Structure 1
C-alpha cells in the first residue's frame, strides 16, 4: 500500500514535476492541478467546495471493480468478457486458480478494491486539513465538512478490509510515504466504527441547518446536517453488523433513515451524469448484441421463490443468451441487469431495504425472534411472497435473512453475498456447479505493496 499511496500522493501534488535530476522536485504553479499546500492553509470556500465534490467522486471509485468482481466471487453475477478470458477463468477460480499477489485485476494495481478506497481516504484527509486551517468557515461549518469527510473514510476503509480480510490493512495512511503497519480485520473494523463515531460528534457540533456546501445529486434528500447524520448512522449499522455488535446495529439504526413503512429504495447514491462525467458502469442496453456484459448467475434464478417481484423487476431475460466458452465449461447468461433505466442512472450505496434487513439480523442474533420476523415480513411482503411461516430458532432466522439479503441486495456495489457467506462461515453454500470454479475466502496484498516495502527497505 506504500506504493499505492506514493502514487496517490504524487497525483494529488501534481504541481510538482521532475527536473533533469529524477530526485529533484521543482514547484510549478498549475491552476488546474493545485498542490496540497495551496489548500492546506487559508483555503477559500471555492477550494473547499472543489475538494468536497472531488471527494464525492473519489467515493464512487470502487463501484465498477467491486460490482463486477466481488459479485462474481459470491456468484451473484458472471462478468462475461469475450475479449479477455481471465474475467471468467481467474475470477471464477477455474482449474484450481487461487488468488496470489499478482492476480488478474487486483495483484499489481489493486484496482477498485484497494487503490480507489485509499484515494478517497487521502482526499478526505486533505479536506479535513483544509477545513481546519482556514478562516473562511465558521466552527459549525468546519464540523460539518469534517463529519462528511470522516463518514466517507469510514465507508471506504471497509472495502480493502473486506477484500483482504484476515490479511489485514493499513489504517494509518496520513503520511503517504510512511504508512503505519497492517492491522487485523477486527482492529480495522474498530477503526471504521471510530471514524463514524467521530463523524457523528462532528455533525452534532455542526447544528441542525443545511449542509454548508453543495453536494451532488447523489445526496438528494440528504442535504441537511441532520439528514447526513442519518446516512452516517446507516453506514455505522453496516459496520457494526460486521463487528457482531448487534445492539450497536440497533442503536445506529435508530439514528438512521431506516423507515419500516417507507420506500425501500430510499438512500444516498453515486451519481453518473455522462460527459464530461462518467456513465453508469453497470448499465447495458437491454438485449444488445454484445459479448461483454454482466449477467445474472444461474443459481440466483434457480433458487428464486416463485412470484418474487425482485426477480421480475431486477432481471431482464434476453432473447439471445450470451455464451462464453472457457476451458472448464460454457457460461451461458440468459438474463441481464434490469435495474438501471438509463446509462446515467445513479447507483445507491446504502438503502432503506438493507437497513431493515440489518434490523432483522440484529434481532435474530439477540434472540428476539418476533422483532426479527416483523422486519423480515416487511421485505417479504414488498417482494410479493407473503409472510414468513418457517421456524423461528436463531439458525433458521439467519438462513432466512441471508436468503432475503441475496435477492434484496443482489449485485449491489458491495459484494454482499460474498461477505455475508464469509461472516457466517457459509462459503461452501455458494454453488460452483455452473462454472466448476472455486469460492475464494480473501485476497493477499497486491504485489505493488511488497515492491514498495522492498524499495524503501533498500
Structure 2
C-alpha cells in the first residue's frame, strides 16, 4: 500500500504533461525531469509490467480521493449528517446555507468540496487514461491483458464522471478532457450521464474479451472482485446506478442481472476503498467513540427523529455519545448526540457500492415499471434485514416510491455519494429535507468554480 502514496506523482504529470502552450503564455515552463518520480513519457511507450502495476495502484488511490469531501459535504447538503467543525464555522454556516448563504463561484465549498467534487474526479479520469494509453502502447501484454486494463480504466472513468455531473447538475460538465489544456465545452447533465454510461458499456465489452483473473494486483478493496467476471459485475452495478439517474428502468434491471446483486446474500458485499495508515492514509470518516473533540461527523437529528422503532440499522450505524458535541453558529447552536458507528478502526475500508444499494435499485425499477410484486419482494428483503418486518402499507406506485426512498435513507446513510441529496433532487423533493434544526437551506446544485471560469477567460484571451 506504500505505493499508493508514491504513485500520485504520475497523476500530476498526466494532468499537465502536454504543456505545449504558445510562447506568449506565462504558464510555459522548461522541461524539468524529476529524478525521484517517473514522467508520463516513461510509461506512454513500452511501459514495463512493474510500471503498469504502479499505474493500476495509483488509479485505485485516485479513485478514492473524492471520499472525504463528498462524504462530508453532500451528506450535509442532504441532512444525513452535520460535519461539525469547531475551528472553522463555514463548514456549518456555508454548507448548511444559513442566513441566506448561497453557493457562488468562490463559495467556501469550493475550497473543500471543490477538490473532491470537481477536481479530484477529473484527476482520476486522467489517471485512467494514462493507464489505458500505457496498456495499448506496450509490447509486454497480451491482447486479453490489454483489454482487462482498459476495461478497468473505463470502469473507473464511468464512475468518476458521475461525481462532478451530480455536483453542478444543470450547469453541466466537460466530458472531452483528452487534452487537459484544451478541454471541450460543457454538456448537459443528461449528456454527461450518457457519456458515463457509454464508458461503463465499453468497460463491460472490454472485460468480455478478457478472461480469468485480473492480470495485475488490486488492493484489498477489491477482495472478492479480482476476476474479470467479478469486475464485469462491478461495472454493471455502477451502470445500474447510472441508469437509475437516467430513469432508464429497464436498463437498471438489465444491469442488475449482470451485476453482483444477490437477493439472498450479504447486503454489505461490494468493492471498497482501502485505507492502511502511514505511509498510506487513514479512513477519513473514522472518529473515536466519545472523543473529546468538536470537529466530528454527527448524525443529523432528523435521521434519528424519523427512524422506525426497532430498526437494526439505527443501532448498528449510530452511536449515542456520552457527551453531545455542541457547535455554535450565527443561526443556532448545533447539537450532535450521535456519531458514526460504522467503522471499527481507522484502517477500515469504505465500500463504494454495495449489494444493499443494488437490491434497492431493483425495488425502485420494478416500482417505476408498475411491477408491484417484484418491488415488494425487494423492499421486504431490506426491511427484514433491518428487523422491521414486511411492508404493509399501500401498494400504489407513489407509496412504494415513498417507501423505497425512506429505506434508501437508512440503508445508504452517509455513504460516500450523498444519496439522499441526489435522491431528493431527482424526485423533486428537496423541500422535504428538514432544515428546522439548523435554520439553513438546501442547495439544488453548485456553479462551476471560479478557477474553471478563469481558465476559459484566459484561453479566450
Tell whether the structures are fold-level matches, with TM greater than 0.5: yes
Where do 1:296-315 residues align within 5 Å?
Answer: 296-315=299-318
Q: In the alignment, which residue of structure 2 is the partner of 1:266?
A: 269
- Mapped to 2, the partners of 1:112 and 1:365 lie a distance apart of 32
- Mapped to 2, the partners of 1:96 and 1:328 lie a distance apart of 10
Where do 1:81-100 residues align within 5 Å?
Answer: 81-100=85-104
Which of 70, 74, 78 lines up with 1:74 in the alignment?
Answer: 78
Deviations 1:7-45 (A, max 9, x none): 9755755799xxxx9665333443532111111110101
Q: What's the secondary structure of 1:110's corresponding residue?
A: helix
Q: In the alignment, which residue of structure 2 is the partner of 1:221?
A: 224
Q: In the alignment, which residue of structure 2 is the partner of 1:234?
A: 237
Asked whether 1:155 is paired with 2:168, we answer: no
Which of 113, 125, 146 lines up with 2:150 in the alignment?
Answer: 146
Q: Is the 8 A contact 1:15 1:34 kept in 2?
A: no
Q: Is the 8 A contact 2:70 2:113 kept in 1?
A: no
- Mapped to 1, the partners of 2:35 and 2:267 lie a distance apart of 44
Q: In the alignment, which residue of structure 2 is the partner of 1:4?
A: none
Asked whether 1:105 is paired with 2:123, we answer: no
Q: In the alignment, which residue of structure 2 is the partner of 1:51?
A: 55
Q: Structure 1 length normalisation: TM-score?
A: 0.95
Q: In the alignment, which residue of structure 1 is the partner of 2:407?
A: 404
Q: In the alignment, which residue of structure 2 is the partner of 1:3?
A: none
Which of 299, 318, 321 lines up with 1:318 in the alignment?
Answer: 321
Q: Shift in Å at residue 198 of structure 1?
A: 0.3
Q: 1:451 to 1:376 in 2, by over 3 A?
A: same
Q: Is the 8 A contact 1:15 1:29 kept in 2?
A: no
Deviations 1:330-354 (A, max 9, x none): 1000000000000000000000000
Q: In the alignment, which residue of structure 1 is the partner of 2:190?
A: 186
- Mapped to 1, the partners of 2:28 and 2:384 lie a distance apart of 65
Asked whether 1:376 is paired with 2:383, we answer: no
- Mapped to 2, the partners of 1:314 and 1:34 lie a distance apart of 43
Q: Shift in Å at residue 456 of structure 1?
A: 1.2
Q: 1:141 to 1:116 in 2, by over 3 A?
A: same
- Mapped to 2, the partners of 1:359 and 1:148 lie a distance apart of 25
Q: What's the secondary structure of 1:451's corresponding residue?
A: helix
Asked whether 1:37 is paired with 2:27, we answer: no
Q: What's the secondary structure of 2:229's corresponding residue?
A: helix
Q: Structure 2 length normalisation: TM-score?
A: 0.95
Q: What's the secondary structure of 2:390's corresponding residue?
A: coil
Q: Is the 8 A contact 1:58 1:116 kept in 2?
A: yes
Deviations 1:343-382 (A, max 9, x none): 0000000000000000000000000010000000000000
Which of 186, 206, 226 lines up with 2:210 in the alignment?
Answer: 206
CA RMSD of aligned residues (A): 1.8
- Mapped to 2, the partners of 1:417 and 1:330 lie a distance apart of 24
Q: In the alignment, which residue of structure 1 is the partner of 2:66?
A: 62
Q: In the alignment, which residue of structure 1 is the partner of 2:123?
A: 119
Structure 1 gap ranges (5+): 1-6
- Mapped to 1, the partners of 2:353 and 2:448 lie a distance apart of 27
Q: Is the 8 A contact 2:65 2:116 kept in 1?
A: yes
Asked whether 1:135 is paired with 2:139, we answer: yes
Deviations 1:402-452 (A, max 9, x none): 000000000000000000000100111100010000010000000001111
Q: What's the secondary structure of 2:117's corresponding residue?
A: helix
- Mapped to 2, the partners of 1:374 and 1:106 lie a distance apart of 42
Count of residue pairs the alignment pairs up = 448
Greater shift, 32-41 or 262-271, is seen at: 32-41
Structure 2 gap ranges (5+): 1-9, 20-24
- Mapped to 2, the partners of 1:149 and 1:191 lie a distance apart of 14
Asked whether 1:337 is paired with 2:340, we answer: yes
- Mapped to 2, the partners of 1:288 and 1:14 lie a distance apart of 44
Q: In the alignment, which residue of structure 1 is the partner of 2:253?
A: 250
Q: Is the 8 A contact 1:108 1:448 kept in 2?
A: no
Q: 1:428 to 1:13 in 2, by over 3 A?
A: closer
